[in-house]
A and B are shown apart, each in its own frame.
With several copies, the nearest count.
Chain A
C-alpha cells in the first residue's frame, strides 16, 4: 500500500499558500477539520477562497480564519452564524457566493468525478439561475451547473488507515466525502489512524485513492452548536 501518513496538521497543510482555493468538510460545526483549521490560523495564509457549507462561529471552525481576515471569499449554502462574518460581509471585505446546498455537494462530487457540468432543477427561476443556461428535461426547466475543484480539500473522518481509506461517523460525514474527491491534494484528519488491513474493505466510505495526506488529529473539541435534549424526568 501507498503510505500517506504525515505527523501533524502543519505538515499536512504544507504547500497551502495565500490566494488558494480550499474545500473544507463539515456541516455547521459537525465533522469539521478542526486541527487543520488551527494549522491554517498558525500559518497565517490569507486571501483564501473557502468552499464550505457553513462558515463556523465566532471562536470556532472557519470563524477563527475570519477573525484573522484570512478569507477573501466564502462559497457556501448557509452562513452568518457569527458576528464577524456579518460585519465583514456587510462592509464588503468578504465576498460571499451562496449556492443551494444540493448543488454545492453535487458540484464538488462532479469536480472529483471528472464531470465538468450537469443539469439540476435547483435554483431555476431564482437569482441563482441568473446567467446560467436553462434547458427543459421532461417538461421541467433545469439550469447547468459547473463542477468545483480545490487546490486543497481538507476533510475530517472518524477512522482512517495510512493508505488514506476513510470511515466517517454519524452525520459528521456530510460534505466530507464529495469534497475529498475534489481536491488536487486532499488532506484527511482522523480520530483514529490504523494500519492497512485493519478497516473492513466493505465499510470504507472514501477510498484512499482520493486522499494524499492523512494524520491523527491532536485534539478534537467537537463543539455542539445547538444542544437540544429532553430531560429524563419527562
Chain B
C-alpha cells in the first residue's frame, strides 16, 4: 500500500537531526512539521523572513504582518526572529540551513530537479526554489512517484526546464526512499509498507539501483 502525503511527510521527518535548521517548501513538505520525532529540536526557516516559525494562529488571532513563504498566516515561537529577504537568502546560500525539503515535477538520476515551469502553461516563477536547490547541502524531494497520467517523475533526464542541476540527494515518494548516488542513479533504500520492489521498478524510468534486500519503511 503506497503512502499518502502525510506518510511521505512522516518518513521525511525521520531524516531530521537534532539542532538542524530546516526550510520546508509548499505542499507535502509543509506537512513534515507535524511529524517531528520526539527529542529532536529543529527550527523552521521561511524564506520570506522568519526563523522559529510556529503553527497557524487561532481563529481571530491572525496577524497580516506575520506570514510564511506560502503567504499563510502563521505564529512565531519563543526565540523566533524576523529578518529581511537579503539576510534570509544569506542563510540559505551560505548553507546555514541544513535541510531543504521541496516538491518536484521531475527529478533526474543525476540529481537535477524541475519544479517551476511547464512550457506552454502560465509561468508563476521560481520564487526561492532556485536559490534553495543551488545552495543546500541536503535536499530532499517529497513527491508522488508518478504524475497524474501515471508516468514516472524519476527520469534519466528532466524534460521540463530545470530549477537546479546535480543537487537532489534524496527522494521520498509514496512508493519508496531513494538516494541519488554521486555517480548517478536512484539507489533504492526503502520500500513503502506493502509495496514491492517490482512495483517501484515499474514506476521508475531513470536508472534504479536495487540491492538484494530492500527493507520496508518503519513509520
In angstroms, Cα B176 to Cα A215, docked, is: 44
Query: B84 contacts A205, CB within 8 Å?
Result: yes
Residue of A nearest to B45 (CB): A209
In angstroms, Cα B18 to Cα A125, docked, is: 33
Query: A125 contacts B131, CB within 8 Å?
Result: no
Residues of chain B within 8 A (CB-CB) of A162 are 79
In angstroms, Cα B83 to Cα A98, docked, is: 23
In angstroms, Cα B65 to Cα A176, docked, is: 13
Of B50-58, B141-149, B185-193, B204-212, the one contacting chain A is B50-58
Question: Which residues of chain A from 99 to 146 have a CB within 8 Å of any chain B CB?
Answer: 100-106, 108-109, 111-115, 120-128
In the complex, whether B77 has a CB less than 8 A from a CB of chain A is yes
For A104, A108, A223, the residue with the greatest tally of chain B CB atoms inside 10 Å of its CB is A104
In angstroms, Cα B131 to Cα A175, docked, is: 16
> By the criterion of a CB under 8 Å from any partner CB, how many residues of chain A are at the interface?
83
Query: A113 contacts B134, CB within 8 Å?
Result: no
In angstroms, Cα B124 to Cα A80, docked, is: 5
**Main SS of chain A's interface residues?**
loop
Q: Known contacts A2-B43, A171-B50, A181-B90: does B130 contact A226 (CB below 8 Å)?
A: no
Question: In the complex, what's the smallest C-beta–C-beta distance from A194 to chain B, in angstroms?
Answer: 10
Query: B59 contacts A230, CB within 8 Å?
Result: yes
In angstroms, Cα B71 to Cα A80, docked, is: 14
In angstroms, Cα B65 to Cα A175, docked, is: 13
In the complex, whether A86 has a CB less than 8 A from a CB of chain B is yes
In angstroms, Cα B81 to Cα A163, docked, is: 10
In the complex, whether A210 has a CB less than 8 A from a CB of chain B is yes
Residue of A nearest to B50 (CB): A171
In the complex, whether B199 has a CB less than 8 A from a CB of chain A is no
Query: B77 contacts A1, CB within 8 Å?
Result: yes
Query: B84 contacts A105, CB within 8 Å?
Result: yes
Q: Known contacts A28-B71, A171-B82: does B91 contact A209 (CB below 8 Å)?
A: yes
Question: In the complex, what's the smallest C-beta–C-beta distance from B123 to chain A, in angstroms?
Answer: 7
Query: A209 contacts B71, CB within 8 Å?
Result: no
Residues of chain A within 8 A (CB-CB) of B88 are 102, 105
Q: Known contacts A161-B79, A231-B58: does B130 contact A128 (CB below 8 Å)?
A: yes
In the complex, whether B62 has a CB less than 8 A from a CB of chain A is yes
Residues of chain B within 8 A (CB-CB) of A124 are 134, 164-165
In the assembled complex, 29 residue pairs joining A and B whose CB atoms fall closer than 8 Å, in A order, are: A2-B41, A30-B48, A30-B67, A53-B85, A78-B126, A101-B89, A102-B130, A105-B86, A105-B89, A112-B96, A113-B89, A122-B134, A126-B161, A126-B165, A163-B52, A170-B63, A170-B76, A171-B50, A171-B82, A177-B86, A181-B94, A204-B81, A208-B51, A209-B91, A225-B67, A226-B72, A226-B73, A228-B72, A229-B60
Chain B residues proximal to chain A, CB less than 8 Å: 18-19, 21, 41-43, 45-52, 55-74, 76-97, 112, 122-131, 134-135, 161-166
